[in-house]
């Protein structure tokens, strides 16, 4: 546009017309004015861009300052948190050090008291020995005086007088010596009993533990009431599959958003709890999925068993145990004796043995090791001859334990003779842990034994694959091998088991026998 206007301007000037000159001047002024306007606009635009750039820089500077302040505050907060954590750790360590110092001080005071008692006993024995010597010298003097008088009075030779005096002195001294010996023996026995009581009381006061009571039911919380229907399934197939896979009883009542898992076997109950919680979280509840989650729960419980054994060994600071012993020790977490947890009982016995050994000047590590492993035979599954003490002793012997520990385990129920003092410590600590108030309950043990006997009675029948006592022992469900047992034979098994229960088992109310024969055929399309 400007090039065309410049050409026109040159043409008008060349023609020399005044009008053209006027037009040319106008065009020149117009072009100059346009250039000025464009220049002013561009200058204004640059000025605004510069102002905007300064504003952006100022905003960025402020945001950077705010961000730096936030980073500073976060760093100060993190520093304060770490400082607080370090202070707590220092306080905890100070407390632990104070506790250990008090224990050491108490032990030193006990040793000082024992030294003082021994010194008193020594001084008393010295005084008694001096009194005996003085009495013996006095008797000798009297005998000499009497012999002289007898020699002067009677016409007897020296041998006859000596025999008569000897008999008389023996008669007089026997009564005194017998009374003195009885007094010393009674005093020594009383001192031994007092020392034994002091050691026991000192060890028991140092050990404080909560009684462990077994529960036969576990509660699982549900996210909503609709989940109960999904757990039951169509015509109850889900709940039947779950109970058949785990061997527990699911109690679903009107209680809001909860399901009760009932079983006398704590391992089954824990497997059922883990599997049910996983199924509820997953939401896909059907028989095939139930079996998968139950298997996963069994694997998870296996890991927990291993961890429980390692935690027990770490708690007692025992080194050098064979991995198989640690694994078997972890199984005691799910074993109960008269409602007392077997693993907690073993840890408690180990602690008591260690304390008693320390009071008696023995090796606390050996005593602790024997106490922890004394009931390990209860975790061995399968058919083994002998008591759990003999089985456990044989097991630890095969895995490198010393003869002292092996004998302490085998003798803790006095089935074999104790060979060392450590066996006596285990017997004593086992008794103390078992008889303390609230440790055990006989009625619960009898109930569990009855349910266990009911299952074993069913498993002894040929063709039976699994047997579960449920409904608090009012029902036993028997799963038979479909390849071995026919439908008619399944009915005969139910009658045979009913007859055995009536003849061999004492039970309240009635027991329902259910025999399950199920065949499954699975094919995979590829």
- Rounded to two decimals, the pTM is 0.46
Q: Indicate if the pLDDT at residue 405 is higher than 60.
A: yes
Does residue 423 contact residue 408 with C-beta atoms inside 8 Å? Answer: yes
Helical segments of 212-332, H only? 226-232, 237-246, 266-282, 287-316, 323-331
pLDDT digits (tens, 9 = 90+) for 410-420: 988 888 888 88
Mean pLDDT value across residues 39-50: 84
Mean pLDDT value across residues 368-387: 80
Adjacency order of strands within the sheet including 464-470:
464-470, 475-480, 512-516
pLDDT digits (tens, 9 = 90+) for 267-302: 788 888 888 888 888 888 888 888 888 888 888 888
Q: Indicate if the pLDDT at residue 437 is higher than 60.
A: no
Confidence bin at 515 (pLDDT 50/70/90): very high
What's the CA gap between 427 and 7, in Å, rounded? 126
Residues 6+ apart with CB under 8 A from 28: 9
CA angle, 109 then 112 then 116, to 5°: 140
Mean pLDDT value across residues 251-267: 78
CATH fold match for the domains 217-303 and 318-440:
no
Domain locations in the chain as residue ranges: 2-96, 110-206, 217-303, 318-440, 444-516
DSSP string covering 173-225 = HHHHHHHHHHHHHHHHHHHHHHHHHHHHHHHHHH---------SEEEEE-S-T
Q: Which residue has the tokens 């106490």?
A: 371
Greatest mean pLDDT range, 42-46, 423-427, 521-525: 423-427
What is the CATH code of the structural domain delimited by 444-516? Answer: 3.30.70.1350
Mean pLDDT value across residues 224-241: 85
Q: Which residue has the higher pLDDT, 254 or 515?
A: 515
Residues 6+ apart with CB under 8 A from 505: 450, 453, 454, 457, 511
Computed on alpha carbons and rounded to an integer, the radius of gyration of the chain in Å comes to: 47
pLDDT digits (tens, 9 = 90+) for 140-195: 787 777 667 666 655 556 676 677 767 776 776 776 667 666 666 665 566 666 66
% residues pLDDT > 70 (the chain): 79
Confidence bin at 214 (pLDDT 50/70/90): very low
Q: What topology does CATH give the domain 217-303?
A: Ribosomal Protein S8; Chain: A, domain 1 (3.30.1370)
The predicted pLDDT at position 2 comes to: 45
Length of the chain: 526
Residues 6+ apart with CB under 8 A from 86: none
Does residue 513 contact residue 478 with C-beta atoms inside 8 Å? Answer: yes
Q: Which residue has the higher pLDDT, 161 or 366?
A: 366
Confidence bin at 344 (pLDDT 50/70/90): confident
Q: Which residue has the higher pLDDT, 130 or 436?
A: 130
What's the CA gap between 467 and 477, in Å, rounded? 6
Does residue 214 contact residue 341 with C-beta atoms inside 8 Å? Answer: yes
Domain 318-440 has CATH 2.60.40.10: no
Q: Which residue has the higher pLDDT, 267 or 463?
A: 463
The predicted pLDDT at position 480 comes to: 92
Q: Which residue has the higher pLDDT, 481 or 198?
A: 481
Q: Indicate if the pLDDT at residue 332 is higher than 70.
A: yes
CA angle, 371 then 376 then 382, to 5°: 165
Q: Indicate if the pLDDT at residue 216 is higher than 60.
A: no
What's the CA gap between 241 and 286, in Å, rounded? 8
Worst-scoring range by mean pLDDT, 117-121, 382-386, 394-398, 415-419?
A: 382-386
Confidence bin at 89 (pLDDT 50/70/90): confident
């Amino acid at each position: 546009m400007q090039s065309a206007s410049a050409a026109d301007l040159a043409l008008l000037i060349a023609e020399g017309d005044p009008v053209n000159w006027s037009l040319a001047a106008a065009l020149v002024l117009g072009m100059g004015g346009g250039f000025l306007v464009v220049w002013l606009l561009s200058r204004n635009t640059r000025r605004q861009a510069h102002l905007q750039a300064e504003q952006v820089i100022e905003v960025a500077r402020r945001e950077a300052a705010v961000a730096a302040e936030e980073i500073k505050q976060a760093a100060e907060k993190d520093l304060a948190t770490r400082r607080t954590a370090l202070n707590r750790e220092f306080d905890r360590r100070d407390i632990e050090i104070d506790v250990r110092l008090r224990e050491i001080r108490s032990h030193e005071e006990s040793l000082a008291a024992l030294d003082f008692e021994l010194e008193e006993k020594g001084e008393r024995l010295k005084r008694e020995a001096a009194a005996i010597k003085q009495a013996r010298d006095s008797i000798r003097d009297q005998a000499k005086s009497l012999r002289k008088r007898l020699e002067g009075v009677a016409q007897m030779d020296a041998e006859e007088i000596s025999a008569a005096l000897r008999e008389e002195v023996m008669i007089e001294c026997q009564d005194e010596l017998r009374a003195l010996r009885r007094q010393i023996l009674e005093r020594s026995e009383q001192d031994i009993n007092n020392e034994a009581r002091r050691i026991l009381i000192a060890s028991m006061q140092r050990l404080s533990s909560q009684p462990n009571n077994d529960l036969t039911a576990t509660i699982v919380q549900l996210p909503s009431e609709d989940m109960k229907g999904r757990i039951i399934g169509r015509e109850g197939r889900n709940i039947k599959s779950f109970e058949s896979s785990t061997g527990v009883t699911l109690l679903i009542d009107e209680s809001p958003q909860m399901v009760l898992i009932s079983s006398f076997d704590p391992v089954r109950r824990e497997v059922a709890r883990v599997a049910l919680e996983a199924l509820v979280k997953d939401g896909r509840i059907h028989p095939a999925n139930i079996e998968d989650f139950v298997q996963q729960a069994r694997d998870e419980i296996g890991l927990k068993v291993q961890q429980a054994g390692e935690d027990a060994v770490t708690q007692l600071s025992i080194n050098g145990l064979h991995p198989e012993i640690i694994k078997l020790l972890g199984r005691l977490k799910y074993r109960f004796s008269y409602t007392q947890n077997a693993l907690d009982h073993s840890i408690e016995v180990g602690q008591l043995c260690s304390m008693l050994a320390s009071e008696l000047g023995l090796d606390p590590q050996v005593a602790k090791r024997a106490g922890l492993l004394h009931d390990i035979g209860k975790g061995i599954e399968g058919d083994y001859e002998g008591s759990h003490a003999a089985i456990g002793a044989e097991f630890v012997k095969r895995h490198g334990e010393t003869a002292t520990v092996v004998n302490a385990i085998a003798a803790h129920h006095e089935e074999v003779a104790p060979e060392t003092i450590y066996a006596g410590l285990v017997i004593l600590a086992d008794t103390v842990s078992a008889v303390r108030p609230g440790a055990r309950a006989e009625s619960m043990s009898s109930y569990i034994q009855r349910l266990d006997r009911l299952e074993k009675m069913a498993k002894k029948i040929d063709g039976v694959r699994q047997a579960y006592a449920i409904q608090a022992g009012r029902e036993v469900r028997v799963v038979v091998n479909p390849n071995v047992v026919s439908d008619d034979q399944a009915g005969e098994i139910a009658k045979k088991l009913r007859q055995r229960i009536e003849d061999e088992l004492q039970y309240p109310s009635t027991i329902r026998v259910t025999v399950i024969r199920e065949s499954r055929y699975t094919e995979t399309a590829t």
